[in-house]
């Protein structure tokens, strides 16, 4: 499965933004997120802190992996998102 690497634009507040121009599979070079789209779409996304949401996770579930807020300008164009199991932003 061929994915096109995209480098996001960094916005204020730790947000990322990519403009995808055509149908395909795209992988963010900063976060590892993979977006599959059926057409043109602008995606804005950011990494969230589990500290705000951890109390919503009930046993036997546990907090794990990165937590993202993803928004799409054309929700119907976003076929799926593949989330990474881990994320290193330490350089």
pLDDT tens digits for range 35-75: 999 999 999 999 988 888 888 888 898 887 788 999 999 98
Phi, then psi, of 57 in degrees rounded to 5: -90, 115
pLDDT of residue 91: 57
CA 7 vs. chain centroid, Å, equals 12
Whether the full predicted model's pTM is greater than 0.85, yes or no, is no
Look-up of token digits 């993803």: 70
Spatial separation of the C-alpha atoms in residues 82 and 85, rounded to whole Å:
9
């Amino acid at each position: 499965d061929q994915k096109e690497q995209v480098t996001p634009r960094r916005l204020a507040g730790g947000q990322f933004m990519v403009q995808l121009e055509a149908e395909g599979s795209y992988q963010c070079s900063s976060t590892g997120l993979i977006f599959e789209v059926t057409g043109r779409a602008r995606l804005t996304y950011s990494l969230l802190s589990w500290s705000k949401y951890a109390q919503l996770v009930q046993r036997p579930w546990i907090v794990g992996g990165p937590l993202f807020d993803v928004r799409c300008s054309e929700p119907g164009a976003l076929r799926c998102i593949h989330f990474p199991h881990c994320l290193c932003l330490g350089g």
